Structure 1
Amino acid sequence: MSKTLVQPIGQKRLTNVAVVRLKKHGNRFEIACYKNKVLSWRSRIEKDIDEVLQSHTVYSNVSKGILAKSKDLMAAFGTDDQTKICLEILEKGELQVAGKEREAQLCSQFRDIATIVMQKTINPETKHPYTISMIERLMHEIHFAVDPHSNSKKQALEVIRQLQEKFPIKRSPMRLRITISPESLSSILEKLGTWHGDIVAKEESGSRVSVVCELDPSLFRECDGLVRTLQGRLELLSVSVHAEGDTSVDRYDEFNEDILPSMPKEVSEASIGQLSERLEKQSVSKNKSSVGEVKQNKCNTCNALVGDAKQYREHFKSEWHKHNLKRKTMNLPPLSAEECLADVDLGASKEDLKEYSF
């Protein structure tokens, strides 16, 4: 017996339907869900099963609409209660996604990893972070491939290690406050010198001395152990410290492929300075008024960058976006803002001619 899965009008087949599959007792069982709801259910955000399942029906093949046989359900689950079986498949089954959905997931995770890398790294010369677009290009340069089964933070740390082998980039230091007795101060200062830590401030308050310093994150555990040994206290003030003040981070956004040659693991300060100077000379800013902005939102319908979050929201209300949305439904390519204006004027002229024609 077969039954075709009824889907809402206007939705492409298997675009908004996610299949959760479970193989048990030599048979394959599938249920039809919404992908975003499956993830929400497993993270215990969504609690209404009716918001997760498209139907309380167990299939042997969702795409073909073939229902699972009752005897197979009894043999595998010991019951023919469809809802109970759906719950078990939902918890233990494997989420199946289409090729485009998988590609979208990988692109999203790639962006997340690049964002983490940007937040945790700086240019050794300027002490400022690179832009997100620059980090993404460097990741493509080292041919980084996303592992969908691995944590984004873990992969970001691996990316930083690989980038340090070829490009002038380093982990941004964390800012710590160390509170100890005056007798132990010399030991701490000596160790900070060994670790190449920067002392930001030093204060004395009664019988205790407070030292604010910036240190490489990889040395945190060792520093914490030393402070505990000296019976002091360690406070984490900032996980990632970037240089204060204005900086033209967009100057690193545009560069030619030959600007960033492969570099040895130990990059000299002179090499870093030369590379930064070449980047500054070669770069061409697309919009001088956008200096300091890290993120530019892109409208896929209009195939154009539309600025920050506020401008992005306003863009969706514009006639330009609405016109391109109509063209998209007719499988026509998007127009630029100027082309869109000309096309609308042309359409208005044709309507006027129709109105006055006899």
Structure 2
Amino acid sequence: MVTVDKAVIAKIEKGGKRFEILVDPELAYEFREKGRINKRIIDILAIENVFKDSKKGMPASKQDMIEFFGTDNIEKIAEEILRKGEIQLTTEFKRKKLEARKMQIAEFISKNSIDPRTKISHPPQRILNAMEQAKVHIDIFKNIDEEIEKTIKAISHILPLSFEKIKLEIKIPPKYASKCYGYIKSLGSEPKWLDDGSLYSLIEIPSGLKDEVFKKINYLTNGENSILIK
């Protein structure tokens, strides 16, 4: 549980009345971003209480909580505030999360697309530059898939993008098969064991991931493998 001095305020207004909770900024942001968290809601709180003014330590009345939330259960009220209310994150916190989200979007586009002219993926920094040029506004609280889709539309007139997929036929010799099994499976394929103990898989991946896959499998097998583009 976060200490009070490191907590931030999350608040919501209902019927002209304010309801506030003190929360761990990291956990509150994670919950808001993902809609869930591997902790109880109560673990996000610095103090297990709902306030009408947290700075003055003035708790919300039980009557008001029941009237506006239909319950005086702190965990249920806190969940609604976290989902629908305002989380007062610091400027520095929001700046760091914004930079991280921009990079996450740029890396996704880089890995899942190629420049159709060169058949090579754009590096993340080039995509970040295009995002800045296109003045893409990223919201750290919105669904990441929506933000990626919005970004692709915004920068497509600056950077040519193609989201082609390719098929790779992979065969790993027996002495490296066990070592490669987990990685190949993580690419969305169910590898097959051949009679001689080698590993075989036919996978479909975004074109932008090709170099990464080749590099990883070559590393795991010391270059002893067969990878064919189908």
TM category (shorter chain) comes to: 0.5 to 0.7
The aligned counterpart of 1:196 is none
Deviation by residue 1:293-337 (Cα, 9 ceiling, x = unmatched): xxxxxxxxxxxxxxxxxxxxxxxxxxxxxxxxxxxxxxxxxxxxx
Deviation by residue 1:36-83 (Cα, 9 ceiling, x = unmatched): 33335951411373x32211222112234333245534544566x5xx
- Alignment partners' CA distance in 2, 1:245 and 1:29: 52
1:33 maps to which of 23, 31, 42: 23
Query: Which sections of structure 1, spanning at least 5 residues, go unmatched?
Result: 1-5, 178-199, 201-235, 247-291, 293-358
Provide the identity percentage.
19
Q: Quick one: which amino acid aligns to residue 23 of structure 1?
A: E
Verify the 8 A CA contact 2:52 2:58 in the aligned structure 1: yes
- Structure 1 residue 149 displacement after superposition: 4.7
- Structure 1 residue 110 displacement after superposition: 1.5
- 1:154 alignment partner, SS class: helix
- 2:49 alignment partner, SS class: coil
**Where does 1:332-343 land on structure 2 (aligned, <5 Å)?**
none
Verify the 8 A CA contact 2:69 2:77 in the aligned structure 1: no
| Pairs aligned (count) | 173
- Alignment partners' CA distance in 2, 1:65 and 1:101: 25
- Structure 1 residue 173 displacement after superposition: 1.1
State TM-score, norm by structure 1. 0.41
Verify the 8 A CA contact 1:21 1:31 in the aligned structure 2: yes
The aligned counterpart of 1:90 is 78
- 1:20 alignment partner, SS class: strand
Q: Quick one: which amino acid aligns to residue 48 of structure 2?
A: H
2:38 maps to which of 29, 45, 48: 45
Query: Which sections of structure 2, spanning at least 5 residues, go unmatched?
Result: 170-201, 216-230
**Where does 1:154-173 land on structure 2 (aligned, <5 Å)?**
154-167=146-159, 169-173=160-164
- Alignment partners' CA distance in 1, 2:110 and 2:167: 21
- 1:175 alignment partner, SS class: strand
- Alignment partners' CA distance in 2, 1:108 and 1:73: 37
Verify the 8 A CA contact 2:7 2:24 in the aligned structure 1: yes
**Where does 1:160-239 land on structure 2 (aligned, <5 Å)?**
160-167=152-159, 169-175=160-166, 237-239=203-205
1:72 maps to which of 64, 71, 86: 64
- Structure 1 residue 95 displacement after superposition: 4.2
State TM-score, norm by structure 2. 0.60
Deviation by residue 1:16-44 (Cα, 9 ceiling, x = unmatched): 31323233343111111213333359514
The aligned counterpart of 2:10 is 20
**Where does 1:1-358 land on structure 2 (aligned, <5 Å)?**
7=3, 13=5, 16-38=6-28, 39-40=30-31, 42-47=35-40, 49=42, 51-73=43-65, 75-77=67-69, 84=73, 86-93=74-81, 94-96=85-87, 97-167=89-159, 169-175=160-166, 237-242=203-208
The aligned counterpart of 2:224 is none
| Larger Rg belongs to | 1
